[in-house]
Chains A and B, each alone.
Chain A
Amino acid sequence: MTSPNPPAAKRSLAQRISGERIVLALAAPVLAVVLSVTICSILLATSGKNPFDAWNVMITYATKSDGQVAILNRSTTYYLAAAAAAFGFRMNLFNIGVEGQYKVAALFTAYVGAQINLPSIIQIPLLLITAMLVGGLYASIAGALKVYRGVSEVISTIMLNAISIAIIGLLLVPGIFAPKQGTTSNSIQTDPVSQSSHFFSFNTAGGNLWGFIFIALLVGVAFQFVLTRTRFGFDLRATGRSESAATASGVNVKRMVMISMAVSGALAGLIGLPELLQNSYNFGQGFQQNLGFLGISVALLGRNSPIGMAFAALLFAFLDSTGSQLPLPKNGGFPFEIVAVMQGTIVICVVVAYELVRRYGLKRQQQKVGAQLAAQLAATEKKEAAA
C-alpha cells in the first residue's frame, strides 16, 4: 500500500505540476500587462492620439543603445528598491519605510563620502557599509517599536518616512551637511564625494552603464540563497506563510522581526547609491524621490522573488525610460502621464490576478492529487481482486 506507484510516474506528475506552475506564474503578470496596455490604448485613442504610435516610440527607443543603457541603469535602482521591500514582504512584514530609509542612508553616505578619502578598495566598501548601516538602523526603529510596543510597522514606517524628510531638511543646510555657499546659489547639496568613491562603470556606445548592476545582481543572488538555502531563510519564509505555525515550530518571531526589518532597511540603504556614486556624486535637494514606493510596486509585480523582481524592474525601467521620449515634439507629444497610468493598472491588475491564479493553482493541485490517489487506489484494488 505504501506508495505503490513507480518512481517514474511520480516524477512525471512533479514535472507536470512544475510546468503548470511556470504557466501559472507567468499568467498573472502577462495578463496584467496586456490589460493595462489595452486600457492605456483606449485612453490614448479617446484623447485623439494614435496609441500604436506611442508604443512604437517606446519600443523604438528601447532598441537603441542609449535607451538600453538608460533602462538598465534605471532597473538597477529599481531592483534594489524592490529587493528591500520584498525582504520584509517575504515574512509578511510591510516595510513601507523604504522611502525614508534610502534617503537618510544616501544623505549620510554622501556626507561620509565627501569627508573621507581613502583608496577606492576601502572607500567603496566603507560607503556601502555606511549606507546599509544607516538604512538598517533607521528601519530598526520600526522593528523595535513593533517588537516592544506592538506598533504596526505600516504605521511606524509611514511616520518615519515623514520624519526622514524632516531629518534631511534639518541636516541638509549650509554649515551642517552642505557647504557654506555664496548668496546667489539656490541649490543645496552636500560636497561631492571624493574621487575614490566613484563606482566603476562601463563606457558603451549608449553612455555609461553603471557598474552597480553587479551589486544588484549580487543582492539578487544573496537574496535567493539566504531565503532558500539557509535556516534563517526557512524561518523567515515560514513566518511569512503562517506566523502561528512558525511560532509553534520554534521560530522566535520577535527576533525575526528585528532582523528582517534591519536587513530590509540595509538593502534600502543601497537604493540611493547608484545615483550617488555613479551619477550625481552628491546628495542634493533634488535627489530622486519615491523610489521606495516604486520598489513596493516592483516587488508586488515580481512576486517578491529575485527573478520575478528582475523582470519587473526591467519592465518598470522600460516604461519610465521610454516613456520620457513620449512628450517630445518630434515623437508626437504624447502625455507622459500615460506611463503612470500603465504602471498603476499593471500593479492593480497583477495583485488581483495573482490572488486568482494562486487560488486556482491550489484548487487544481488538490484536484490532481485527489485524482492521482483515486487512480492509485483503483489500481491496488484491481490488483487485490486479481490476487
Chain B
Amino acid sequence: MRRSMKLAAVVLSGSLGMASLAACGAKSTDNTSSAGASDGSLKVGMAYDIGGRGDQSFNDSAARGLDKAKSDLGVSVTEAEAKAGEAEADKETRLKNLIDGGYKTVIAVGFVYQQAVDKVAKDNPDVKFAIIDSHDDAQPTNVTSLVFAEQEGSYLAGVAAALKSHNKHVGFIGGVQTELIKKFEAGYRAGVKSIDPQMPVEVTYLTTPPDFSGFASPDKGKEAAQGQLDKGADVIYSAAGSSGNGSIEAVANNKQGALAIGVDSDQATQPALAKYKASILTSMVKNVDNAVFSYIDSVKKGAPFTGTKLFDLKAEGVALATTGGKIDDIKTQLDQAANAIKTGATTVPTAPAQ
C-alpha cells in the first residue's frame, strides 16, 4: 500500500513537471496565421451568451445583425457560444480564441461577458470590442457598450397588455431576477398602471442569480405561465430568453384566448413559434440586430462608436412588433404613450417600485 503510494507520487510529480516545461513550451496560438484581415475584409468575431444562435430570442437577434453585416457589408465572421456553468476563464479563452483567429472586432453578446471583455480588452488594445447590454465605468476605451432602454419598450408592452386584457389581470415572467430583467418588469408595470392603476400584475422570476438556467428552461417558463393563467391573468409578457417559448406555448394552449407578449425578437415571425402565432399579441422587439449592424458599420467606416451607445425608443432601439395586426386597433393609444416617452413627458422607471 505504501509502495503503491510512492509510485503514484512519482507519477504525480512527473505530471507536475509538465507545468515547468510549460513555461518554455510553445503556445497553442503560436503558429496560427493571425495576419489579421489578410484579404482586406473586416473580420468580426461574435461571442454569444448561453443559448447561442437558435435561442429564438436575444442571441438570435444579434445573429441577424451579424448576418446582415456579412451580406450587406461583406465582412467575414466567426462565432462562439457560452455553455452553462462555465468558468470565467472559459469566457476569456473564448474571446482570446476569436482574437487569435484574426478577428480584430469582437462583439460580446450579454452582460455576463463584462469582466472578461474588460480584461481581454486591456491586453489587446488594438482590438475593438462591443458588449451588448452592459456597461462598466472602468471598462477600457476600446470597449463600446451597446445598451437598450428596455423599460421604454416594456412600458408600451404594458400599455398594450392592459388594453387587451379581458380579465383586467396581466402577468410578467422574468427569466432570471437580474437588474436587466427588472428593467423590463419596471417598464411593464408602469405601462399597465398608466392605463389602469388598479390592475393586478402577476410577476414570476424563474430563477435568481447565480442560477441563470431561467433563461434557457422552456419547461420552467411553461409552468410559470400556467400558474399565472390559473390565477386569472390573460395577457402574459415573458422576458426570459428561450424559457419564453414555454410560456408562449402555455398561453397558446389556453382555451380562454389568453395572449402572450414576446421579447427581443418579433417572436410571431419565428419558425419555431409559428404555430402559436395566433396567440402572440406583439413582441417587445429589442433591435439588437440594428445595434450590431450599426456598430459593425461604424467600425467599417473607420468611425467606431465609443463609450456607451444607448438604443432607446427614439433611436428605434426598442419597439413593439406589429406582425399579425393584433395591436392595430390600439395604435393611437400606443403612439400617444410612445410620444410622451420620446418627448420626455413620461419618464419610465428602471427599477420596479417596491
Contact = CB atoms under 8 A, between A and B. Distances in A.
Interface of A: 15, 18, 21-22, 25, 60-61, 63-70, 72-74, 77, 103, 165-166, 168-169, 172, 174, 182-189, 202, 204-206, 209, 275, 279-280, 282, 284-290, 307-308, 310-311, 314, 324-325, 327-330, 336
A289 B50 CA distance: 14
A90 B332 CA distance: 70
Interface residues of B, number: 61
A172 B209 contact: yes
Contact of B133 (A70, A186, A282): A186
B32 A103 contact: no
Contacts of B4: 18, 21-22, 25
Contacts of B30: 64
Interface of B: 1, 3-5, 7-9, 12, 15, 18-19, 21-30, 32, 78, 80-81, 83-90, 93-94, 97, 101, 111-112, 114-115, 133-137, 145, 147, 177-180, 207-212, 308, 310, 350
A111 B350 CA distance: 26
Contacts of A186: 111, 133-135, 147, 178-180
9 contacts: A22-B7, A165-B210, A188-B179, A204-B19, A204-B22, A290-B84, A290-B85, A310-B12, A330-B32
A209 B212 CA distance: 29
A69 B32 contact: no
B270 to A, nearest CB: 23
Contact of B26 (A65, A168, A287): A65
Contacts of A72: 18-19, 22
B27 A314 contact: no
Contacts of A286: 88, 112, 115, 210, 212
Contact of A73 (B21, B89, B180, B211): B89
A320 B3 CA distance: 32
B101 A328 contact: yes
Contacts of B24: 65, 205
A188 B25 contact: no
A187 B111 contact: yes
A187 to B, nearest CB: 4
Given A185-B114, A185-B136, A206-B22, 11 more contacts: A18-B4, A25-B4, A63-B25, A64-B28, A65-B27, A70-B93, A186-B178, A275-B87, A275-B88, A275-B89, A288-B85
Of the candidates B5, B24, B135, B211, the one having the most CB atoms from chain A within 10 angstroms of its own CB is B211
Contacts of B1: 18, 21
